[in-house]
Amino acid sequence: QSALTQPPSASGSPGQSVTISCTGTSSDVGGYKYVSWYQQHPGKAPKLMIYEVTKRPSGVPDRFSGSKSGNTASLTVSGLQAEDEADYYCSSYAGSNNVLFGGGTKLTVL
Amino acid sequence: QVQLQESGPGLVKPSETLSLTCAVSGYSISSGYHWGWIRQAPGKGLEWIGNIYRSGITYYNPSLKSRVTILADTSKNQFTLKLSSVTAADTAVYYCGRVDWTFDYWGQGTLVIVSS
């Protein structure tokens, strides 16, 4: 099983929107609702931002949203703020009690 | 508030067994959810290692399965990761977390270096 595919980098100016993609297969992203997104600042533990494709945990700003189309999931950050600059990782249930992660995307706020 | 805290040696010799414990507070691990481990090599992405369910059922990453054991001690509300025959490639920050095929609570992570 291969890691999910994410672009290595993404960027946007404050106030803009940016979308990060996460591409898998019908055996993982496309086959299950268990797609999650995590934010990781340098030296910190990852933080759950989106789960089950579109759901936000309590406390996560509604500027963060998730979606899925076929085998590709997406995280959109609207109204970019300086504190959104971080690494973002997607994950998906991959069947047979396995979990896959994406390689991560470094989001830069210009 | 669920809190998790990893502990264990920060330096392990090649070919030996890495052993880390995750102490959980604010939630009983016997009440539900899976409890799992993830690692992150320096400058690299996240890698799922495995989960344990309250009944003791375990699920492991196929690429690590032959070397991984996860055990739970419900009396101490903690669970343990054992990774055998370690090499330099196992050098990483190891995180524990609460899992429902999504890691919703994470420990702060602990760096383990494999070196002689």
User: What's the pLDDT tens digit per position in A81-102?
Assistant: 999 999 999 999 998 889 999 9
Query: Is B45–A89 a contact, with Cβ atoms under 8 angstroms apart?
Result: yes
pLDDT one-digit tens code per residue, A9-31 = 999 999 999 999 999 999 999 99
User: Within 10 A of B26 (CB to CB), how many other CB atoms are there?
Assistant: 11
Q: What is the pLDDT of residue A1?
A: 62
Q: And the tokens for B91?
A: 């050098």
Is the model's pLDDT at B55 over the cut of 90?
A: no
Residue B57 · residue B79 · CB < 8 Å: no
Cα–Cα distance measured from residue B10 to residue B12, given in angstroms and rounded to the nearest whole number: 7
B29 closest CA partner among B4, B50, B59 = B4
Is the model's pLDDT at B20 over the cut of 90?
A: yes
User: Within 10 A of A29 (CB to CB), how many other CB atoms are there?
Assistant: 28
| Band of residue A54 on the pLDDT scale cut at 50, 70, 90 | very high
* CA closest to B34 among chain A residues: A97
Residue B55 · residue B33 · CB < 8 Å: no
What's the whole-number average pLDDT of chain B? 95
Residues of A with CB under 8 A from a CB of B: 1, 3, 32, 34, 36, 38, 45-48, 51-52, 57, 89, 91, 93, 97-104
- The conformation of residue B88, written as its DSSP 8-state character, comes to G
Q: What is the pLDDT of residue B100?
A: 82
pLDDT one-digit tens code per residue, B87-104 = 999 999 999 999 888 999
Using a pLDDT cut of 90, give the percent of chain A over it: 95
B110 closest CA partner among B49, B19, B24 = B19
Q: Which residues contact A69 (CB under 8 A, 6 or more apart)?
A: none
Is the model's pLDDT at B2 over the cut of 70?
A: yes
Q: Residues, chain B, total?
A: 116
Query: Is B95–A100 a contact, with Cβ atoms under 8 angstroms apart?
Result: no
What's the whole-number average pLDDT of chain A? 96
Q: What is the pLDDT of residue B102?
A: 93
Is the model's pLDDT at B3 over the cut of 90?
A: yes
Q: What is the pLDDT of residue A96?
A: 86
Cα–Cα distance measured from residue B8 to residue A78, given in angstroms and rounded to the nearest whole number: 40
Is the model's pLDDT at B79 over the cut of 80?
A: yes
| Band of residue A3 on the pLDDT scale cut at 50, 70, 90 | confident
Q: What is the pLDDT of residue B17?
A: 97
Amino acid at B94: Y
